[in-house]
Amino acid sequence: MYSMPPAGATDQGKKIDDLPEVWAPDDYPRTMPSFLAASARQHGPIFRVRWSDAPGVVHMVGPEANKLILHTQRECFSHELGWTPVLGEYFGKGLLNMDGEEHTRHRKMMTRPSPSPICRAICP
């Protein structure tokens, strides 16, 4: 879920209502990856998907979107607000749906500061 524009941003981009909207097929849960890839090729990397009576969901597809959302502009998106309603009942609160300093702190706890001796031995 988008929370705020990046510092210094002058272009606010498109309004959600101005994004291309595509209707998902009845078998959307089963065909989602191929459907999203085809929709991105046809409409560009940012579009809205409607399925059944659910409100539209904005999808950002592709490597640039992944880098933007998960790395370079992570602070501009709320992963807690976006993922907790979807996964919270099943997974509780975890790294995927944490934001800010809490996410950073937990990520550091889960990441080794340097590769293990075994990894160094098998990796070039």
pLDDT digits (tens, 9 = 90+) for 79-92: 888 888 878 888 88
Assess contact for 21 and 54: CB atoms under 8 A: no
Give a yes or no: residue 4 inside a domain.
no
Average pLDDT over residues 97-112: 85
Most confident range, picked from 27-31, 40-44, 61-65, 91-95: 40-44
Residue 36 falls within a domain, yes or no?
Answer: yes
Decide which of 57 and 36 is more confident.
36
Q: How far apart, in whole angstroms, are the C-alpha atoms of residue 94 and residue 84?
A: 9
* pLDDT at residue number 124: 56
Quote the percentage of the chain above a pLDDT of 90: 23
Identify the domain containing residue 58 by its residue range.
Answer: 16-122
Q: Does residue 28 lie in a domain region?
A: yes
Q: Is 11 within the bounds of a domain?
A: no
| Helix, strand, coil tally for the chain in percent (to 5) | 50, 10, 35
Q: Does 10 fall in a domain?
A: no
8 in any annotated domain:
no
The answer to pTM > 0.75 is no
State how many domains the chain has.
Answer: 1
Task: Answer yes or no: is 3 within a domain.
Answer: no
pLDDT of amino acid 10: 45
Classify burial at 51, counting beta carbons within 10 Å of its beta carbon; exposed 0-12, middle 13-18, buried 19 or more: middle
Q: Is residue 20 part of a domain?
A: yes
